Amino acid sequence: MAKTNPAQFIQQTRNEIGKIHWPNRREVTLTTVMVFILATIAAVFFFMVDSGINLGLRALLGLFS
């Protein structure tokens, strides 16, 4: 493996960082809102599934009160 001196490494690192697409404020806000919406939908879905399983098990075991 070829060794790179520190100056070349820093230059190569800066070149690679320059290639990165940094999101703007609108993109960050939009993706953040989407994450919160999807997390809420997932939480509600799993709550409903858990409640259904709980209800089914209570009915099956005769513990329904």
Q: Give the DSSP per-residue string, the chain.
A: -----HHHHHHHHHHHHHT-----HHHHHHHHHHHHHHHHHHHHHHHHHHHHHHHHHHHHHT---
8-state DSSP, 13: H
pLDDT digits (tens, 9 = 90+) for 10-56: 999 999 999 999 899 999 999 999 999 999 999 999 999 999 999 99
What is the pTM (predicted TM-score) of this model? 0.65
Nearest-angstrom CA–CA distance, 6 and 60: 69
63 band by pLDDT with thresholds 50, 70 and 90:
confident
Question: At residue 1, does pLDDT exceed 80?
Answer: no
